[in-house]
Amino acid sequence: MADPMRIRAQASGDKATVRVLMSHEMESGQRKDAAGKLVPAHFIQDVEAKLNGKTVMTAEWGPSVSKNPFLQFTVKGAKAGDKIAVTWKDNKGDTRTDEATVS
């Protein structure tokens, strides 16, 4: 399983800025290894963020996203103490969910 995501969520007024650093190799399927063989594609396809269990953001990614992707977004209606959960799913079926508290 992949390493945990680093999630920071800071409230400012009636919204929160969420920053997420995901640990993932993000192979495009076009790179070759030392032996000259193609490295199989392995990348995050779907990302979903929830605020207190309610979906607030979804994204569909492809193989062109860089290794260990960084994502930042703003959520209206978030306040200190709320829970932000971020989930990703890759093209091989692996999934990861991590949670942070808005500060």
CATH of residue 11: 2.60.40.10
In a domain, 22, yes or no: yes
Element housing 22 (H / E): none
In a domain, 19, yes or no: yes
Of residues 77 and 2, which shows the higher confidence score?
Answer: 77
Classify residue 36 by burial, with Cβ atoms within 10 Å: 0-12, 13-18, 19+: exposed
In a domain, 74, yes or no: yes
Tokens of 9: 């969520």
In a domain, 1, yes or no: no
Q: Give residue 54's domain range.
A: 6-27+39-101
pTM of the model: 0.87
Total of domains in the chain:
1
Mind listing the pLDDT tens digit for each residue in 46-89? 999 999 999 999 999 999 899 999 999 999 999 999 999 999 99
Question: Of 38, 41, 45, which is closest to residue 22 (Cα–Cα)?
Answer: 45
In a domain, 33, yes or no: no
In a domain, 85, yes or no: yes
Residue 1: predicted pLDDT = 53
Sign of CA dihedral 84, 76, 89, 21: negative
Average pLDDT estimate for 34-53: 94
